[in-house]
Amino acid sequence: MTWIVTGGAGYIGAHVVRRMRVSGLDAVVFDDLSGGRADRLPGDVELVRGSITEPDDVNRLLRGRRVDGVIHLAALKSVAESVAEPGRYQSVNVDGMKHLLYAMREAGVSRMVFSSSAAVYGRPAGGTVSERSRANPINPYGRTKLDGERLIKEYGIRSVVLRQFNVIGAGTHPHAADTGTTNLLPAVFRAMAPGAEPVAVLGDRYDTPTGTGVRDYVHVADVVRIYLDAIDHLRSGAGEDQLIVNVGTGAGHSVRDVLNAVGEAADRPVPFRIAPPRDGDVPAIVARTARAAQRLHWKAELSFAEAVRSAWEAWPVSG
């Protein structure tokens, strides 16, 4: 039996697919390659070009295949972009989810692992959240992820919802780097190039120890393990119809910490400038991870420093 991986040619998706193949799981990747790269994928993995915003593409994907379940990563994911273009985020992240769920129901596919986000929590009191914390997103991106979680439940799909915090780092594949245009580490790395503009630190007056935003950064190599644990959970048939788990380390690091860690990995300081805070951002958010340990027997094992160093070593222009 096969698992469909939407967005499987993206940064996280390609890591997940590679781990699946090592574990003997068949995967078919569905990706429009707007943010993904075919060269990230193992040569024996089928890539189907298509978009979740096109119902015909999604229906053709599932029609005539024996599918065990869907890992759904395809989405837009920039907080700032979602504030500027909320309609586009609704179209891709919510309407696209509806197309996928309808096609799954028609094809008799009843399992999903969903890549959700810590953004569903909004601005939590105290900055630390468990899965029991109130979901109250403050930006369109977070709202679309929460809408996706609700839609899965409404369609009666058994699911594991992975509320991912800030995924960083890289594996050993030569194309494993996160080269996205909206994440912090790629922006920092680009600022390290000769003649580049300093990286913008968005706000330095938050109520945090360094004045800069605090996030829970988790190594992608740890993250991919929980996707396989989620598959095992769904295939076992155990537990509730929708299991929601945080995917983080339980430790927070500030933007200043990131700059310092990159400077150590690169053996030179990071050029930066202070810029106004970004609409839709929160001062601090860190995961409580007990449920992942209890229900999926997962915990993060790699350190923040290891994650940053692996990301730098995989960066195309490092060294």
pLDDT for residue 29: 98
Query: Is 141 among the catalytic positions?
Result: yes
CB proximity list for 40: less than 8 A, separation 6 or greater: 9, 10, 14, 173, 175, 176
pLDDT one-digit tens code per residue, 133-157? 999 999 999 999 999 999 999 999 9
Stretch 199-204: mean pLDDT: 93
The DSSP string of 224-276 is HHHHHHHHHHHHHT-S-SEEEEEES-S--EEHHHHHHHHHHHHTSPPPEEEEP
Inform me whether the pLDDT recorded for 318 exceeds 60: no
Residues 277-295: what's their mean pLDDT? Answer: 92
Q: Which superfamily does CATH assign the domain made up of 2-168+217-247 to? A: NAD(P)-binding Rossmann-like Domain (3.40.50.720)
Domain boundaries, the chain: 2-168+217-247, 184-215+250-287+301-314
The DSSP code for 138 is: -
For the cut 70, the answer to whether the pLDDT of residue 317 exceeds it is: no
In the predicted structure, residue 238 carries a pLDDT above the cut 90: no
pLDDT tens for 77-125 read 998 899 999 999 999 999 999 999 999 999 999 999 999 999 999 999 8
Residues 231-260, mean pLDDT to the nearest whole number: 95
Is a pLDDT exceeding 80 seen at residue 172? no
CA distance 163 to 244: 7
pLDDT in tens, 27-46: 999 999 999 999 999 999 99
Amino acid at 199: V
CATH, range 184-215+250-287+301-314: 3.90.25.10
Confidence label for 319 from pLDDT (cuts 50, 70 and 90):
very low
- What is the model's pLDDT at position 274? 95
Annotated active-site residue in 11, 141, 206, 227: 141
